Structure 1
Amino acid sequence: MNERRSRFQLSMRYRFMFVFFILTVLPFVLVGYIALSKSEKTIRSSNLDSVVQASKNLDHFLRYVLNEQDKIMASDETQELLDGGKLAAQLGEIPYANKLSAYTDTLNYANKLFKIRLFPLEPSRYPAYMKSVYGPAELEQVPWFAEIVTKGRFFWKVFGPADHPSLYVQPTLGSVKRLHSLKTFQPTGVAVMEIRPAMLAEFIDPVKQFDNQRLMLVHKDQAIIYSTDGSYDGKDAEELERELSVPFVSKTMKYAGTESLVNVSALLGGELKLVSVVPMKDLNNPVAVLNKLTIAFLVFYFLMSLALAWYITVKYTSPISSLVRQMKILARNQFNEAALANSNWVKRSDEVGWLYRGMSHMVSEIHKLLEETREFEKRKKQLEFQVLNYQINPHFLYNTLDTIRWKAEAHQVAEISEMVSSLSSLFRLSLNGGRELTTVRRELELLKSYIQIEKVRQSSLVRMMYRIEEDIMELPLIRLILQPLVENAIRHGIAGKGDAGIIIIQGTLEEDGICFRITDNGAGMAEDVRDRLLDPSAESRQDREGGLGLINVHERLRHYFGEPYGLDIQSEPGRGTTVILLHPRLPDNTTEIDR
């Protein structure tokens, strides 16, 4: 699976497609994306700017209304008419009501922007006037009137049919302010300035840029004062409640089940908010043509990519992929010419044909070289064994050693007899009948014969400890690989320690193969000495500090089995040395490793 994924990722066809995509499609996509995003951003910015500017204009107008309200309060006639009841007591209720109504009508006639309503501080004392301007309702019991009379703090209020069905057909924004005497500063009445809905429309309707765009003027209590679509349902404002809690908002959100751009701008210090809701499909209509053109070009380039990929696949990548597969098959079959499949691409006169013909020639030459190498190695080993046999005739040597042993026993020299017996066993096991492979058990027998000889030679005790797993005793092992390691440990490790020296041999079967650890409690060695022991470039015995046997064992293992097999040395001065030998686990009953 990993090999398939790697082949897919590195395939030439996909590289060509990727390069084509980078050079053509990607720049076009980037330009299209930038153009679309810039266009959309410009439209959004334009819509937001118009909402903000409209809110500023409306804010100026509403502040103008407040100024006019102050002017009315400051006029002499207003001060005279709302003087706490003195003029009403002088003229009587009916004449006073007519005079106050005429004055209010005059103000409204002169001003077309808003409607003015003046109320005495105690409306119940003037039933005739109140009936003519407000109806029979008891205004003193109305919450908003009671609040302005009691608290005296100016506020904006949305008047609707619920407040007075005959006066307010639709929501109307009004400024409610308590009037007071300029001389005594005592409260004298209440003035209500009602903004005509037509005036709000003149400020808000021009902001509308899209057919389905909705603009609303919303009071801080979520009441809708004006809406371009004529809908005043409070649920619409409730849907925007979170966005209306901050003075300024521009975001995309779900509104009435449709993805929309919502822009909110506050005026009068957050008392009112102008809200614009534009469905995103309407907002994107101006760039729809550009969007369609971009998609058309993308489809065109995609089809071009497919055509290019098909052409490259047929002409180039398929032959090359087939060539790669054949090379892998040949590598698995050790470049056997029988595994080379015939191909029509060999007849091509271009570079692909040259590749196929070159591969065929290369495979033929490699196969010849491999066969020659195998024959050379085989002849080399045969010659080595012949030379060894010519140097020492094993049967003659064994018979001679046996004669010496019998003579020693006849003269009751047990030490000589034991030493000759060990030497005979050592020679027999080391020659191993001319075979390179032995078993772990026979290699340990050889090692014990060598240890016995060393004990006699040195006339001292060589303390050995064996910890060998029984499971590995009959497994195949290269001959003469433990004895050089133990010899090195005796001569350069525990030499001079006397009876305190000890060598521990551990043999285990691990995941990577058979592992032997030869540990001594000797003097140890420095790092630079340790590195030279397994360095092939350190040719002289002095360079390896007497470790010639170690490099021989290491190179034999590497020669036959390659990495990671061989030796590893762990040592520190004064803390002893451990040589780790890693040998592969060979199939049972394996006796030859000539290949």
Structure 2
Amino acid sequence: MKKITWLPKMTLFKKNFILLFLSVSLSIIALGVLSYYSSSKQIEQISSAFLENNLQQNSERLRDFFREVQDKSDKVIGNNKLQMLLEEQLNNNYNEQYFINALFPIMEEMENPFQLTIYPVGIEAYKNYLNRIQSDGVDKETYWYNKSLQLEGTPFWQAHTLDRDSALPAGFTFIRTIRSLKSLEKLAVLTIDVPEELLSKKLIKPPQYERYSFQMIDEDNNVIYADERQHIGNVSKGQLVNNKVSGGFHINVNHVDHMLVAFSAIEDTNWSLVAMIPKADLLGPIKVIREFSIIIIVVSLVVMSIFLALITNKFTMPIRLVVQLMKKVQMGELAIIYQFVTRSDEIGQLARGYNSMVGGMRELISTTKQVEEEKRELEMKMLINQINPHFLYNTLDSIKWKADHSGNKVISEMVASLANLLRFSISGGELFASVEREMEHVKSFIKIEQMRSNYSFQVIVQIHPSISHMPILRLTLQPIVENAIKHGTNRLQDGIGKIVIQMFRQDDLLLCVVEDNGPGASKPIRLDRIHDVIPAGESGLGLYNVNRRMNIQYGERYGITAGNISTSGFRVVLKYPVH
């Protein structure tokens, strides 16, 4: 969700005022709007009921009118002269001239007030007849003709779609197949054209609404009749579909006005009658109510704003004072607040809390100065003490030189290993070392241990080349190897002891596994308890030291797990994070 960035830039007074103003004003506005729309809804319901009744009456009048047309078609089909003429034509190979001379007098007798047209079966052979009826304005397209023959007597209506700019008048055609009353054989197709003027006379408008208008739509929501062409398109097809689904009246927004629209299906057809009127014609009194409601709301909001500003200022003034003092603290001036300290409410608690914070800061500054002084003294002592390791290194180098000069290689190698061991242990001050450098330190320790005790044991080192330059904590492997020698191989006969050192990467871990074939531990070891790791009477921190350093540096997930091997010996696994 997008954060509001402008609100934090305001003062506390403005924030509280805005929030209080919104909480109260929204309630007032909501009440006014609710009252307005409640009155509007009541007037609309009354008007809608009146218009719905009018629409229902007109829908029934159209239904009766269309039934009258259908009754007219029954009389035409039942005309004996017409039946005899069509049967003769069907049986005498379509004598066109005879058909024309006999048909038109019969049609003229039955045509008023509608225009009747008869299309005999095999109409394509009646070219002269088709030319004559087209001159009277009848369309020659025959898709409806074939449709009628397929329906075998079932009548249907046809109308063309209108648009706003079309000059073509609306027209409705009733189409029905004429069948023989004796053999039910298809004889012809009858069309009855209903002009727009005749349909308009059947619709009754309320005289008090001048802009009240009607439209008729087909099953595809196309307009097929409109008494006011300029209103075509004011209501979209989608809105007409919604009306069909739910029925009743709906307010739909168009390009000009808010329209009140009503829908009613016409029985016996696939058409519907739509009545529409601008909403403003029905809801005129609502405008007066709306204007009066707006005036009342505005006056109420002005008075309420003044009242809220006074209340907000009373609560925010102590906080503004604290903010001013906090700015002084930023400049280095630790000032104490004296107002509002005796109050028992939240403002008093804030003032006392601020004074407590300033007092703590003064004490902290004093303590920090003292710590800095002690730190400088400690650094001076460390610089002085660095002289001693240099003296020790130089002395060891001299002993090595004399051993080499006298030909004693054992003492020379032992002194060199000791010098390397000491340099790695107490010089440099670095927290981390590479895997390769750490292993050099371990090898120096093992060499010294073998020379010192004159005790032989086998050491196998397996390190994957890809991890030789990875950083690890200094002095973490040597204590583990020392533990394996001291409690493992030293308790075996000379030459039998064996230590295996493996280092490899596993996912996001760097693992170091140290195993020995000694007797193992007499009881399970818990590395979180120092007495389990360091037996009574022995010195050094050993495994506990390494595990504790790993926990501090990386967390409880990393460190040492140790235990006996199922066959014989002891295994220590050290887990590093991969940097």
Match of 1:484 in 2: 479
> Is 1:273 equivalent to 2:272 in the alignment?
yes
> Is 1:361 equivalent to 2:356 in the alignment?
no
Which residue of 333, 336, 358 maps to 1:341?
333
Contact 1:158 1:223 in 2 (8 A): no
**Alpha-carbon distance in structure 2 between the residues aligned to 1:242 and 1:402:** 99
SS at match of 1:459: coil
Match of 2:514 in 1: 520
> Is 1:61 equivalent to 2:66 in the alignment?
no
Kindly state the Cα deviation for residue 153 of structure 1 after the two structures are TM-superposed.
5.3
Q: How many residues align?
A: 505
Q: Deviations over 1:543-586 (max 9, x none)?
A: 9999942433565688xxx65489922658769654356899xx
SS at match of 1:216: strand
> Is 1:541 equivalent to 2:532 in the alignment?
yes
Match of 1:454 in 2: 449
What does residue range 370-449 of structure 1 map to in structure 2 within 5 Å? Answer: 370-371=368-369, 415=410, 419=414, 447-449=442-444
Kindly state the Cα deviation for residue 216 of structure 1 after the two structures are TM-superposed.
1.2
Q: 1:223 to 1:310 in 2, by over 3 A?
A: closer
**Alpha-carbon distance in structure 2 between the residues aligned to 1:9 and 1:529:** 62
Match of 2:95 in 1: none
**Alpha-carbon distance in structure 1 between the residues aligned to 2:524 and 2:11:** 49
Q: Deviations over 1:60-110 (max 9, x none)?
A: 33332354456667789x95897868xxxxxxx9xx989x87x998xxxxx
Match of 2:317 in 1: 315
Residue 364 of structure 1 aligns to which amino acid in structure 2? R
**Alpha-carbon distance in structure 2 between the residues aligned to 1:583 and 1:10:** 47
Contact 2:504 2:512 in 1 (8 A): yes
Match of 1:164 in 2: none
Contact 2:114 2:192 in 1 (8 A): yes
Residue 271 of structure 1 aligns to which amino acid in structure 2? N
Q: 1:45 to 1:552 in 2, by over 3 A?
A: farther
User: Scaled by the length of structure 1, what TM-score is found?
Assistant: 0.53
What does residue range 74-89 of structure 1 map to in structure 2 within 5 Å? Answer: none
**Alpha-carbon distance in structure 1 between the residues aligned to 2:571 and 2:295:** 76
Kindly state the Cα deviation for residue 455 of structure 1 after the two structures are TM-superposed.
2.1
Q: Deviations over 1:506-555 (max 9, x none)?
A: 99xxxxxxx997543568999x978x42x3xx242359999942433565
Match of 2:226 in 1: 227
Match of 1:217 in 2: 216
Match of 1:588 in 2: none
Q: Deviations over 1:3-50 (max 9, x none)?
A: x98994999779857864785466667767877888898899889888
Contact 1:54 1:207 in 2 (8 A): no
SS at match of 2:531: coil
Q: 1:283 to 1:375 in 2, by over 3 A?
A: farther
Contact 1:239 1:255 in 2 (8 A): yes
**Alpha-carbon distance in structure 1 between the residues aligned to 2:172 and 2:73:** 20
Q: Percent identity?
A: 21
Kindly state the Cα deviation for residue 363 of structure 1 after the two structures are TM-superposed.
0.7
Kindly state the Cα deviation for residue 273 of structure 1 after the two structures are TM-superposed.
2.7
Runs of 5+ consecutive residues of structure 1 not aligned to the other structure: 86-92, 106-114, 123-134, 161-167, 330-338, 508-514, 585-595
Residue 274 of structure 1 aligns to which amino acid in structure 2? L
Match of 1:510 in 2: none
Q: 1:237 to 1:549 in 2, by over 3 A?
A: same
**Alpha-carbon distance in structure 1 between the residues aligned to 2:477 and 2:53:** 95
Contact 2:560 2:572 in 1 (8 A): yes
Contact 1:425 1:446 in 2 (8 A): yes
> Is 1:569 equivalent to 2:559 in the alignment?
yes
**Alpha-carbon distance in structure 2 between the residues aligned to 1:395 and 1:383:** 15
**Alpha-carbon distance in structure 1 between the residues aligned to 2:220 and 2:418:** 112
SS at match of 1:540: helix
Match of 1:154 in 2: 155
Q: 1:324 to 1:261 in 2, by over 3 A?
A: farther
**Alpha-carbon distance in structure 2 between the residues aligned to 1:223 and 1:384:** 98
Contact 1:485 1:518 in 2 (8 A): no
Match of 1:592 in 2: none
**Alpha-carbon distance in structure 1 between the residues aligned to 2:496 and 2:228:** 110
Match of 1:334 in 2: none
Q: Deviations over 1:206-263 (max 9, x none)?
A: 4997x7665312456988665343559xxx4699567778992678888668887766
**Alpha-carbon distance in structure 2 between the residues aligned to 1:437 and 1:368:** 32
SS at match of 1:205: coil
What does residue range 247-286 of structure 1 map to in structure 2 within 5 Å? Answer: 248=244, 265-268=264-267, 271-276=270-275
SS at match of 2:448: helix
Q: Deviations over 1:476-530 (max 9, x none)?
A: x98x6664344245557888896763336799xxxxxxx997543568999x978
Contact 2:21 2:308 in 1 (8 A): no
Residue 559 of structure 2 aligns to which amino acid in structure 1? I
Contact 1:172 1:196 in 2 (8 A): yes
SS at match of 1:462: strand
**Alpha-carbon distance in structure 1 between the residues aligned to 2:517 and 2:294:** 83
Kindly state the Cα deviation for residue 361 of structure 1 after the two structures are TM-superposed.
0.8
Q: 1:249 to 1:240 in 2, by over 3 A?
A: farther
Residue 501 of structure 2 aligns to which amino acid in structure 1? I
Contact 2:550 2:558 in 1 (8 A): no
Contact 1:55 1:267 in 2 (8 A): no
Residue 215 of structure 1 aligns to which amino acid in structure 2? F
**Alpha-carbon distance in structure 2 between the residues aligned to 1:214 and 1:61:** 16
Residue 216 of structure 2 aligns to which amino acid in structure 1? L
SS at match of 2:272: strand
Q: 1:449 to 1:220 in 2, by over 3 A?
A: closer
Q: 1:157 to 1:440 in 2, by over 3 A?
A: closer
Contact 2:334 2:358 in 1 (8 A): no
SS at match of 1:368: helix
Contact 1:204 1:215 in 2 (8 A): no
**Alpha-carbon distance in structure 2 between the residues aligned to 1:169 and 1:437:** 98
Contact 1:465 1:504 in 2 (8 A): yes
Kindly state the Cα deviation for residue 148 of structure 1 after the two structures are TM-superposed.
7.9
Contact 2:458 2:499 in 1 (8 A): no
**Alpha-carbon distance in structure 2 between the residues aligned to 1:147 and 1:417:** 120
**Alpha-carbon distance in structure 1 between the residues aligned to 2:169 and 2:449:** 120
Contact 1:59 1:267 in 2 (8 A): yes
SS at match of 1:248: helix
Runs of 5+ consecutive residues of structure 2 not aligned to the other structure: 86-100, 121-131, 162-166, 342-346
User: Scaled by the length of structure 2, what TM-score is found?
Assistant: 0.54
Identify which range, 443-452 or 285-294, moves more after superposition: 285-294
Kindly state the Cα deviation for residue 325 of structure 1 after the two structures are TM-superposed.
7.5
Q: Deviations over 1:369-393 (max 9, x none)?
A: 445566778899999999x99xxx9
**Alpha-carbon distance in structure 1 between the residues aligned to 2:298 and 2:517:** 79
**Alpha-carbon distance in structure 2 between the residues aligned to 1:566 and 1:266:** 78
Q: Deviations over 1:410-440 (max 9, x none)?
A: 99876567556755775687566xx977995
Residue 482 of structure 2 aligns to which amino acid in structure 1? E
Match of 1:589 in 2: none
Identify which range, 364-373 or 404-413, moves more after superposition: 404-413
Q: 1:144 to 1:183 in 2, by over 3 A?
A: farther
Residue 501 of structure 1 aligns to which amino acid in structure 2? I
Q: 1:283 to 1:227 in 2, by over 3 A?
A: same
Q: Deviations over 1:165-197 (max 9, x none)?
A: xxx996465656678897898989979585885
Contact 1:179 1:189 in 2 (8 A): yes
